[in-house]
Amino acid sequence: MIGIQQCKNRSEDKNSEQSKKSSISETTIQQVKDSLVKKYGDGRKKLIEKGVTQAAALWFDSDGTSEDFSKFCNENYLGTDSMREAIFQKIQHQFEVLNGNFNRITIGLMEPLHLDKGEVLPIDEMFGGYNVSSHLTDDFFTNKIAFVTILNFPSYSLKEKNEKGSSWNRQQWAYARLGDIFSSRVPADVIQKISETLTAADTYISEYNIFMGNLIDKNNKTYFPKDLKLISHWGLRDELKSHYSDTEGLQKQKIIYNVIKHIIYQDIPESVINSDKYLWDPEKNKLFGNGKEIKFTPEPNKRYEHLLNVFKTNKAVDPYSPQYPTYIQRKFDGEMEIPQEEVEKNFTDFISSPQVKEVATLISKRLRRNLEPFDIWYDGFKLRSTISETELTNVVKTKYPAKDKFQQDLPLILQKLGFTSEKSNEITSHISVDASRGAGHAWGSEMHGDNAHLRTRVGKDGMDYKGYNIAVHEFGHTVEQTLSLYDMDYYAMKGVPNTAFTEALAFIFQKRDLELLGIKNTEPAKFDIMVLDNFWACYEIMGVSLVDMQVWKWLYQNPNATPAQLKEQVIFIAKEIWNKYYSPVFGTKDEPILAIYSHMIDSPLYLSNYPMGHLIDFQIEKQIKDKNFATEIQRIYTQGRLIPQIWMKGAVGKEISIEPMLDATTEALKKVK
């Protein structure tokens, strides 16, 4: 009986797989094409061929017979411009209704995980992991809405968009973006599993805090305030960056770097994660309770277990995505719309440039010491590096004792940046400020009438400088999210080409954080210093991004790896990239620091958006220099979701390139001492 049941299960699985494959013959496809061309003319031939071919590829046995397919196409093809325009308006409106309300529900379900509202319970993770839109694709193929869309608004490959996009008008671009919606047919259970896995990884990261007042050196000395709790990696990194003007700064930085290494190696005592119960010496990796050393259990490769789960659930989409059959292709060609090979080449060319050693030499002179591995986060090109963080925090806490005070100040912040009072109030009326459980993030709106959410950490005694700095960054995101929704001609064009472009505006805002506090930068060479700051930030994050990309390539080659094997490989890749591109500059080998970024765990292949964002940010800064900030930002960020290079040409007249920053760095090095 067991054998019979196993055969039955395999048979059912096989039948299920067959039902998810197209059975429309080439003969039927050609007959449908010929019929429609004959009816509507040769002028629509290419569009008809593309729509029919794509619809046939996703028409499964469960959708009907070949005769059903032929009948459907002949009845639902829109053969006039007016009919096509009318249906387009209907579809994009209804997608705004769906996306907007799904987004609003998701934000509500995720609140216990994202906002600082007490203890996270298992039921919170269950609700947070629920993807309310997971059945949308299945449902819309079943009721044939997806096929109407594909047939009349087919998708275009990245190659086609690059070749044809420059000549398209706004309507043609909007039609093409509508065509992107149904380029694959992923089952609801696969989508739901991805949501659950990412939520679990995000919760793991959001709750990964280190109590800094419990860190000691070999002499049992503490260096940090008792109540300082920092999230990995953001909080640890930003704390490290804040100590370049501190007399004990180097010692504090070394302690933080030891913490970072233990997180990467997963030999960190599990009992110090999000707990202040014990004292911990990160240098010796020793744990103390009641004045005595105690044995501990290291974290059991949880970090890499989450990464592996995220890989597996995303890889499960591969069979259902014929256009982009790997997650790497979906992320770069499909989402970023820049090929992965091109991104990787830009990064390796940049971090191999001769300017790297010149800037590193300048930093070493300014520090009056040899570089340490953590100096990839050198922050001395910013005005704030000359002001103690305690002083900055005092200013911020006085100004923003609660999140509501920051909310009230948003219009004034925009006015300081040159926005009119009317436009400032209009934009900020669509932005809500929340106290974040994690490091902070922005969550945009998906429909008119709803708000974007700006989230940052706010303590019981007010916002500290780190929280403020993150808040200004996230404010840049929410301004972009609001402009690119409310000032857009077509809903289908809402947004920007990819996440790097919204990161660029967030960086542009973040760099002005002190200016917005009323602390002026009177440095004559401030533009050149900004150039060097941007350059060094790119050098750091490009290496991190290369680790991220190489890890995903390795995972595809080794899909059955264990968490322990993955940990070993991540560390190996991080050291390999360090030794090739960083060791010649820093003088140390086999450093794992490039593997610390939390994005690797809960935001798969997101990291490349940061260096791309820095490149875009720099070219935009050059464009808006000596111009009205608000006018240029509104012009640039209301172009909509064109592909990256066309958007960039519209913004600054040139494509994205590493050359402008490299050239500017060469010039800046001549002026900054």
Q: Is a pLDDT exceeding 80 seen at residue 265?
A: yes
For residue 283, the number of C-alpha atoms closer than 13 Å in the C-beta half-sphere is: 12
| 163: number of Cβ within 10 Å | 11
Average pLDDT of the segment spanning 141-158: 96
Q: pLDDT value at position 246?
A: 85
Average pLDDT of the segment spanning 390-415: 95
Picking from 343-347, 411-415, 456-460, which range would have the lowest pLDDT averaged per residue? 456-460
CA angle, residues 622, 627, 632, in degrees to nearest 5: 80
Buried b vs exposed e over 124-150: b needs ≥16 C-beta within 10 Å?
Answer: bbebbbbbbbbebbbebbeebebbbbb
**Is the separation of the CB atoms in 556 and 315 below 8 Å?**
yes
Q: pLDDT value at position 83?
A: 96
Q: pLDDT value at position 384?
A: 66
pLDDT digits (tens, 9 = 90+) for 159-211: 999 999 999 999 999 999 999 999 899 999 999 999 999 999 999 999 999 99
pLDDT digits (tens, 9 = 90+) for 588-619: 999 999 999 999 999 999 999 999 999 999 99
Q: pLDDT value at position 247?
A: 86
Q: Is a pLDDT exceeding 50 seen at residue 11?
A: no
Average pLDDT of the segment spanning 632-660: 97
**Is the separation of the CB atoms in 510 and 473 below 8 Å?**
yes
In this structure, which amino acid lies at residue 139?
D
**How much of the chain exceeds pLDDT 90, in percent?**
87
Distance of CA 629 to the CA centre of its chain: 25
Q: Is a pLDDT exceeding 60 seen at residue 19?
A: no
Burial category of 352 from C-beta neighbours within 10 Å (exposed 0-12, middle 13-18, buried 19 and up): exposed
pLDDT digits (tens, 9 = 90+) for 474-515: 999 999 999 999 999 999 999 999 999 999 999 999 999 999
pTM for the whole structure: 0.87
**Is the separation of the CB atoms in 574 and 547 below 8 Å?**
yes
Q: Which contiguous run of DSSP H or E holds residue 248?
A: none
pLDDT digits (tens, 9 = 90+) for 221-238: 999 999 999 999 999 999
Q: Is a pLDDT exceeding 50 seen at residue 3?
A: no
Q: pLDDT value at position 520?
A: 84
Q: pLDDT value at position 71?
A: 97
Average pLDDT of the segment spanning 342-352: 98
> What mean pLDDT is reported for the chain?
93
Average pLDDT of the segment spanning 548-560: 98
Q: pLDDT value at position 316?
A: 97
DSSP 550-568: HHHHHHHH-TT--HHHHHH
Picking from 8-22, 444-458, 521-535, which range would have the lowest pLDDT averaged per residue? 8-22
Q: pLDDT value at position 344?
A: 98
Q: Is a pLDDT exceeding 70 seen at residue 340?
A: yes
**Is the separation of the CB atoms in 633 and 477 below 8 Å?**
no
For residue 214, the number of C-alpha atoms closer than 13 Å in the C-beta half-sphere is: 25
pLDDT digits (tens, 9 = 90+) for 354-387: 999 999 999 999 999 999 999 999 998 877 667 8
Picking from 13-17, 352-356, 453-457, which range would have the lowest pLDDT averaged per residue? 13-17
Q: pLDDT value at position 402?
A: 93
The DSSP bridge partners found for residue 431 are 452
Q: pLDDT value at position 14?
A: 40
